[in-house]
Amino acid sequence: MLISLGADISSRILKHEFAEDEVEKITGAIAEMDKVPNQIQEQVLKSLSI
């Protein structure tokens, strides 16, 4: 979800909601992920009403 929100919004969420070590773990996990198809991203965002 963070990827689909874009860098600006994602960085604000990470800075305000997580400790630095948690941000490192999250960004490391994101870097290792395969691309999530746009259709799946849209479905997730719709289900969360974003």
**Span 1-50, pLDDT tens digits:** 788 788 899 999 999 999 999 999 999 998 888 888 888 888 888 898 76
pLDDT on residue 50:
60
Tell me how many domains the chain contains: 1
Three-class secondary structure of residue 48 per DSSP: coil
Rounded-to-integer distance, Cα 50 and Cα 44, Å: 9
Domain that holds residue 30: 2-47
Contact (Cβ atoms closer than 8 angstroms) between residue 1 and residue 45: yes
DSSP string, 22-46: HHHHHHHHHHHSPPPPHHHHHHHHH
Q: Which of 35, 36, 13, 43 is nearest to 26 (CA)?
A: 13
pLDDT on residue 33:
82
pLDDT on residue 19:
95
Helices 20-32, 7-17: axis angle to 10 degrees equals 140
